[in-house]
């Protein structure tokens, strides 16, 4: 009796699934889903490597400072960095005075209790990067976590910055309706191909690096991506550096544990 | 109950004697995980996963209490408090990653533990209660993990909460008010976040309670073993301490190495990038998926794409998703084969390895994939087999299958017939 | 003999394995304890800069230093004289006003606004608050009275109000901490 009941319940689910499968397969054949431009022309991020990659990866402090410069001079016009405090920049190798000077360069909003107005004052080291007011088209995301908030984040940021191009003719030929609107910009690394952000890094020498590195678009993109790896995970170095001794000790302890296990079970067939 | 040859606890110190007369806690420990618990000598490494699961539970509770010290359950600040924990709290990054990856480790361990049970028939008499309590633990774990994932209030948190509570909306008549009641509002917000935090803190301790019952129920008949043959004599068993303490001990080492590799070198590999974007009720992520451990059930949910007679597809999906786990409750009565271990069940073994395991693998894969073809059709086939396996295949196979000959005893299976005969007394002597 | 050695070697391995587990346990406890101490953002906010240019002689302000009140008081010449008049050896916590201020800035009395008895905030810094019978601060909780050098004169408090570490960065800005 129980067996028959269970088979009936089983048939209920399996037949329902077979029905869904059959109808789905039928629809797939009669009206196959239309191909989309995103599906065919979206590209995965380019291969790019950073000093912080790999199990022994460490930040390249010089590069982080260059990346910060690119952020400050280019990205900061639209993108905030709200999880990062100025004091955190000490980790890039800036001394106290430099951190203070950087903080001073930013205006931080304060609410004036007496007047009820929001005023601004110069930033201090303990302040966080202030919000960026943006009135234009699109919603520039906060960049503090961007390299963790996208698949293959660092490579994505790098690819996006270097990936602006004219819309391929093949795309327009196949999808005549998918022409990039005038206010948007074609970029195959962006999920839906058309991005509100105009190419931010346009030419060599857009920033002037203090350390003499040549500021090509590729270099600046790489540097700012490296900087954004750091903003997303300032503890990355410490994490990897803690990992090795921990794993080493665990390996040692596990070998001891295995020997002890063999020892205790010696002569006991199992 | 225990076996008559189980060693009795003998207090070695006057204080322990004093304690034993008043609160026999050392005796309880001794009889549970000490020399007083005889365990079959032939357990393989799949039997380590129960102990590992307990370890994961402790790990989650400890790291969870730490996270709660730095967390604030308020939609305005929840995301920021988690970030601040990672950035500014001493070792905060390690606690956060340990807790997030700890949940994944717990599910890895528990899935192995459950499938060990499927293969070796651990659910069969006299261990039905152990099994039932285990399924309860699994359900509680899923609820706890789901609510925990909501707490950081990222995009996946928010939309996960919305979609999962939306499942209850599929229930006819009471669905919508039920969903509103669960969320304390029309959409996930402060009310939902606060209650999820409260319950996420509470449920692990409920799990601890059920785990204690699970272990208690296990100690009545004693542990099962890979042959499925019941313990007959003392030579079939070894005391838990030191034998299985040593074996579990080094298994913990292996587990810790794997866990720490993930924790220190791939901490975000199992997470979803979208959860590093603060929750935005105005914009749904392009591709929303739950955490990987829910993928098989999520695939089953999505496999029902067509209304079935008068039942809407959405309700069918919800029924099937819950049904996929609830069917486990009936397993001891669906599988009527007198033989426990899959090793001695030629037909069952085939269905297990060539049916259930591939179906689960496909469901895992498709649950994490976008809801497009061919993933939907693949998951439909896999889900079809999943239900057929438990509700049709198992009852029929257990009726028609001719099992392989079983060893006479555990000792015999380990030592061979001749040597075992020397060790074990005649079977009639042990039947008592 | 060889067998006895073997046994000892085996015991040694077991002991070593258990010890390694113990070390691991201690290793886990360290971050668990450490996570409760002040976090980086709290420590970073542990110094405060105060603009004292608007404090007239005889006035005081309350500022916040490490989430606690700090009193900055511009002493009048009369208050300074009052403080210097006291026989230091008769005090419960003997200190001169000079020891409690910076050289050349004796009129600036900067102390924590935390009563040394049980941590209440004494009155006397705010406008119109009672200054107690010694003209300094008065703690309403248990009646401790402090003089114009914020030294304990009467009541249960054991110590003078604490003088935090501070320095004048300019004539009008003090950095505390």
Contact present, A92 and A141 (Cβ < 8 Å): no
Q: What is the pLDDT of residue B423?
A: 65
Could you give the number of structural domains in chain C?
2
Q: How far is C50 from chain B (nearest CA, A)?
A: 26
Active site amino acids of B: 219, 223, 247-248, 291
Give me the mean pLDDT over the B320-337 stretch. 95
Is the confidence at residue C1, as pLDDT, over 50?
Answer: no
Tens digits of residue pLDDT in B171-189: 888 999 999 999 999 999 9
Residue B367 tokens, joined: 């649950």
How far, rounded to the nearest angstrom, does the alpha carbon of residue A149 sit from its chain's CA centroid? 4
DSSP B227-285: T-PPP-SGGGEEEIIIIIHHHHHHHHHHHHHHHHHHHHH-TTTTS-GGGGSB--TT---
Domain that holds residue C29: 1-37
User: What structural domains and CATH numbers belong to chain B?
Assistant: 33-225+232-288 (1.20.810.10), 296-401 (no CATH)
Q: What is the pLDDT of residue C5?
A: 59
Q: Domain check: are C106 and C156 in the same one?
A: yes
Pairing of strands C48-51, C173-176: antiparallel
Q: How far is C10 from chain A (nearest CA, A)?
A: 7
Contact present, B379 and B367 (Cβ < 8 Å): yes
Domain-located, residue A55: yes
Preceding amide of B126 cis, omega within 30: yes
A259 Cβ under 8 Å from any chain C Cβ: yes
Is the confidence at residue C44, as pLDDT, over 90?
Answer: no
CA angle B97, B98, B102 (to 5 degrees): 115
Q: What is the CATH number of the domain that holds A64?
A: 1.10.760.10
pTM, full prediction: 0.93
Q: State the Rg of chain B over Cα.
A: 24
Tens digits of residue pLDDT in B245-301: 999 999 999 999 999 999 999 999 999 999 999 999 999 998 889 999 999 999 999
Q: Which of C142, C158, C167, C170 is catalytic?
A: C142
Contact A7 B388 (CB under 8 A): no
Q: What is the pLDDT of residue A4?
A: 92
Q: Distance between the two ends of chain C, CA-based, in angstroms?
A: 69
Q: Which residues of B touch A9 (CB under 8 A)?
A: 391
C-alpha distances out from residue B241 to A15, B9, B218, C9, Å: 51, 12, 17, 20
| CA pair distance C105, C108, nearest whole angstrom | 6
Chain mean pLDDT for chain B: 93
Tens digits of residue pLDDT in B383-426: 999 999 999 999 999 999 999 999 999 999 988 877 766 665 55
| CA pair distance C36, B83, nearest whole angstrom | 16
- Minimum-distance CB partner of A256 among C13, C27, C45: C13
Q: How many Cα atoms are found within 13 Å in the side-chain-facing hemisphere of A95? A: 1
Q: Which residues of C touch B62 (CB under 8 A)?
A: 32
| CA pair distance A158, A51, nearest whole angstrom | 14
Residue C55 tokens, joined: 């404090």
Contact B320 A250 (CB under 8 A): no
Contact C27 A260 (CB under 8 A): no
Give the residue carrying structure tokens 């720490």. B260
A47 φ, ψ to 5°? Answer: -75, 125
Q: What is the pLDDT of residue C172?
A: 87
Q: What is the pLDDT of residue B430?
A: 44
Contact present, B63 and B102 (Cβ < 8 Å): yes
Question: What H or E segment, with its residue span, contains residue A135?
Answer: none
Q: Domain check: are C80 and C97 in the same one?
A: yes
Q: Which of B68, B132, B109 is nearest to B327 (CA)?
A: B132
Contact C45 A126 (CB under 8 A): yes
B76 φ, ψ to 5°? Answer: -70, -35
Residue of chain B whose Cα is closest to the Cα of C39: B89
Give the residue carrying structure tokens 């270097």. A162
Q: Domain check: are C13 and C71 in the same one?
A: no
Beta strands in A14-137 (DSSP E): 107-111, 118-122
Q: Domain check: are C67 and C137 in the same one?
A: yes
Domain that holds residue A136: 37-84+129-238
Domain-located, residue A73: yes
pLDDT class of B432 with cuts at 50, 70, 90: very low
Residue B32, SS3 per DSSP: helix
Q: Domain check: are C51 and C9 in the same one?
A: no
Question: What H or E segment, with its residue span, contains residue C49?
Answer: strand C48-51
Is the confidence at residue B140, as pLDDT, over 70?
Answer: yes
Q: Which of B110, B164, B112, B165 is nearest to B135 (CA)?
A: B110
Q: Domain check: are C106 and C93 in the same one?
A: yes
DSSP structure class, residue B371: S
Residue A241 tokens, joined: 């550096």
Q: What is the pLDDT of residue B260?
A: 97
Tens digits of residue pLDDT in B8-35: 999 989 999 999 999 999 999 999 999 9
Domain-located, residue A185: yes
Q: How far is B326 from chain C (nearest CA, A)?
A: 38
Q: Which of residues 187-246 of A touch C (CB under 8 A)?
A: 246
Q: Which of B362, B344, B351 is nearest to B388 (CA)?
A: B351
Q: Which residues of A touch B264 (CB under 8 A)?
A: 239-240, 242-244, 246-247
Is the confidence at residue B427, as pLDDT, over 70?
Answer: no
* Residues of chain A predicted below pLDDT 70: none
Domain-located, residue A68: yes
| CA pair distance B20, B11, nearest whole angstrom | 7
Contact C34 B90 (CB under 8 A): yes
Q: What is the signed CA dihedral for B348, B353, B356, B359, rounded to 10 degrees? A: -150
Residue A197 tokens, joined: 């952000």
Q: Domain check: are C3 and C71 in the same one?
A: no
The ipTM value here is 0.94
Q: How far is C40 from chain B (nearest CA, A)?
A: 5
Could you give the number of structural domains in chain A?
1
Q: Domain check: are C22 and C86 in the same one?
A: no
Q: Which residues of A touch C23 (CB under 8 A)?
A: 249, 253
Domain-located, residue A181: yes
Beta strands in B6-109 (DSSP E): 38-40
Residue B188 tokens, joined: 């996930």
Residue A208 tokens, joined: 């002037």
Contact C14 A253 (CB under 8 A): no
Residue B172 tokens, joined: 């006819």
| CA pair distance B176, B189, nearest whole angstrom | 17
Q: Domain check: are C62 and C6 in the same one?
A: no
Residue B124, SS3 per DSSP: coil
A253 Cβ under 8 Å from any chain C Cβ: yes
pLDDT class of B429 with cuts at 50, 70, 90: very low
pLDDT class of C6 with cuts at 50, 70, 90: low
Tens digits of residue pLDDT in C60-76: 999 899 889 999 999 99
Q: Domain check: are C95 and C20 in the same one?
A: no
Preceding amide of B374 cis, omega within 30: yes
Domain-located, residue A153: yes
| CA pair distance C122, C132, nearest whole angstrom | 10
Q: Which of B187, B111, B202, B105 is nearest to B148 (CA)?
A: B202
- For the purposes of burial, counting CB atoms within 10 Å of the CB of C40, is it exposed (0-12), middle (13-18) or buried (19 or more)? middle
B57 φ, ψ to 5°? Answer: -60, -45
Q: What length is written for chain C?
A: 177
Contacts of B424 (CB under 8 A, 6+ apart): B232, B233, B235, B236, B409, B411, B412, B430
C-alpha distances out from residue B212 to B141, B295, C156, C172, Å: 15, 28, 54, 67
Q: What is the 3-state secondary structure (H, E, C) of B343-370?
A: HHCHHHHHHHHHHHHHHHHHHHHHHHCC
Is the Cα torsion angle A151, A154, A160, A162 positive or negative in sign?
Answer: negative
Q: What is the signed CA dihedral for A139, A140, A145, A149, rounded to 10 degrees? A: 60
| CA pair distance B103, B59, nearest whole angstrom | 9
pLDDT class of C49 with cuts at 50, 70, 90: confident
- Give the count of beta carbons closer than 10 Å to the beta carbon of residue B336: 14
Contact B263 A17 (CB under 8 A): no
Chain mean pLDDT for chain A: 93
Residue C26 tokens, joined: 């201690």
Tens digits of residue pLDDT in C114-170: 999 999 999 998 888 888 889 899 999 999 999 999 999 999 999 999 999 999 988
Beta strands in C83-162 (DSSP E): 108-112, 135-139, 144-147, 152-154
Q: What is the pLDDT of residue A164?
A: 95
C-alpha distances out from residue A198 to A172, A188, B293, Å: 20, 14, 40
Q: Domain check: are C69 and C128 in the same one?
A: yes
Q: Which residues of A touch C50 (CB under 8 A)?
A: none
How far, rounded to the nearest angstrom, does the alpha carbon of residue A106 sit from its chain's CA centroid? 25
Contact A24 B376 (CB under 8 A): yes
Domain-located, residue A16: no
Domain-located, residue A216: yes
């Amino acid at each position: 009796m129980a067996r028959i009941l269970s088979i009936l319940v089983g048939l209920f689910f399996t037949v329902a699934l077979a029905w869904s499968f059959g109808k789905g397969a039928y629809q797939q054949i009669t009206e196959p889903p239309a191909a989309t431009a995103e599906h065919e022309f979206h590209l995965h991020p380019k291969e790019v490597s950073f000093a912080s990659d790999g199990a022994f990866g460490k930040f390249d402090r010089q590069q982080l400072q260059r990346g910060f410069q690119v952020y400050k001079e280019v990205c900061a016009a639209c993108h905030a960095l709200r999880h990062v405090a100025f004091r955190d920049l000490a980790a890039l190798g800036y001394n106290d005075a430099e951190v203070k000077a950087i903080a001073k360069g930013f205006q931080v909003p304060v609410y004036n209790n007496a007047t009820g107005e929001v005023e601004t004052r110069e930033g201090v080291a303990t302040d966080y990067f202030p919000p960026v007011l943006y009135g234009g088209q699109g919603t520039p995301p906060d960049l503090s976590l961007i390299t963790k908030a996208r698949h293959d984040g660092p490579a994505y940021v790098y690819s996006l910055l270097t990936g602006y191009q004219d819309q391929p003719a093949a795309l327009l030929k196949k999808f005549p309706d998918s022409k990039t609107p005038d206010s948007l910009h074609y970029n195959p690394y962006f999920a839906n191909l058309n991005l509100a952000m105009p190419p931010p890094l346009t030419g060599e020498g857009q920033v002037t690096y203090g350390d003499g590195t040549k500021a090509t678009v590729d270099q600046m993109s790489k540097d700012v991506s490296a900087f954004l790896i750091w903003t997303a995970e300032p503890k990355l170095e410490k994490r990897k550096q803690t990992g090795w001794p921990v794993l080493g000790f665990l390996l040692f302890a596990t070998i001891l544990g295995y020997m002890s296990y063999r020892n205790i079970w010696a002569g006991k067939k199992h | 109950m225990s076996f008559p040859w189980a060693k009795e606890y003998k207090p070695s110190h006057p204080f322990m004697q004093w304690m034993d007369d008043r609160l026999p806690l050392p005796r309880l420990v001794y009889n549970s995980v000490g020399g007083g618990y005889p365990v079959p000598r032939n357990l393989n490494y799949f039997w380590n996963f129960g102990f590992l699961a307990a370890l994961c539970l402790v790990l989650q509770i400890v790291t969870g209490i730490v996270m709660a010290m730095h967390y604030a359950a308020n939609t305005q600040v929840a995301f920021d408090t988690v970030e601040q924990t990672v950035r500014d709290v001493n070792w905060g990054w390690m606690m956060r990653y340990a807790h997030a990856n700890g949940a994944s480790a717990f599910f890895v361990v528990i899935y192995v533990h459950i499938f060990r049970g499927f293969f070796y028939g651990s659910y069969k008499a006299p261990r039905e209660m152990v099994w039932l309590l285990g399924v309860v633990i699994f359900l509680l774990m899923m609820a706890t993990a789901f609510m925990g994932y909501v707490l950081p209030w990222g995009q996946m948190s928010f939309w996960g909460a919305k979609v999962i509570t939306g499942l209850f909306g599929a229930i006819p008549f009471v669905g919508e008010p039920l969903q509103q009641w669960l969320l304390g509002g029309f959409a996930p917000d402060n009310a939902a976040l606060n209650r999820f935090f409260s319950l996420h803190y509470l449920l692990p301790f409920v799990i601890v309670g059920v785990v204690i019952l699970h272990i208690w129920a296990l100690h009545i008949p004693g542990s099962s073993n890979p042959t499925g043959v019941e313990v007959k004599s003392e030579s079939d068993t070894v005391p838990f301490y030191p034998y299985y303490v040593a074996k579990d001990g080094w298994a913990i080492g292996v587990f810790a190495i794997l866990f720490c590799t993930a924790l220190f070198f791939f901490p975000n590999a199992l997470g979803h990038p979208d959860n590093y974007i603060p929750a935005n009720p105005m914009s749904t992520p392009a591709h929303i998926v739950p955490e990987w451990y829910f993928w098989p059930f999520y695939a089953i949910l999505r496999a029902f794409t067509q209304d079935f007679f008068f039942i809407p597809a959405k309700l069918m999906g919800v029924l099937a998703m819950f049904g996929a786990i609830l069917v486990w409750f009936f397993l001891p009565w669906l599988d009527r084969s007198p033989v426990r271990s899959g090793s001695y069940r030629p037909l069952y073994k085939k269905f297990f390895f060539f049916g259930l395991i591939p179906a689960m693998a496909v469901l895992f894969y498709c649950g994490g994939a976008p809801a497009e073809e061919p993933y939907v059709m693949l998951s439909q086939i896999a889900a079809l087999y999943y239900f057929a396996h438990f509700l049709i295949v198992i009852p029929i196979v257990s009726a028609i299958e001719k099992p392989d000959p079983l060893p006479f005893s555990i000792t015999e299976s380990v030592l061979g017939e001749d040597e075992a005969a020397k060790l074990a007394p005649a079977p009639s002597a042990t039947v008592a | 003999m060889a067998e006895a050695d073997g046994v000892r070697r085996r015991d040694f391995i077991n002991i070593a394995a258990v010890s390694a587990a113990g070390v691991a346990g201690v290793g886990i406890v360290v971050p668990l304890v450490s996570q409760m101490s002040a976090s980086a953002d709290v420590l970073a906010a542990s110094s405060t800069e105060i603009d004292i240019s608007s404090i007239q002689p005889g006035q005081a302000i309350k500022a916040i230093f490490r989430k606690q009140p700090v009193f900055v008081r511009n002493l009048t010449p009369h208050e300074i004289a009052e403080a210097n008049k006291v026989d230091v050896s008769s005090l419960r916590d003997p200190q001169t006003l000079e020891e409690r201020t910076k050289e050349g800035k004796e009129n600036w009395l900067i102390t924590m606004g935390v009563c040394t008895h049980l941590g209440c905030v004494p009155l006397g810094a705010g406008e119109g608050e009672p200054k107690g019978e010694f003209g300094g601060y008065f703690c309403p909780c248990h009646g401790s009275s402090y003089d114009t050098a914020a030294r304990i004169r009467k009541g249960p408090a054991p110590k003078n109000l604490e003088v935090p570490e501070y320095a004048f960065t300019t004539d009008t800005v003090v950095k505390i901490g």
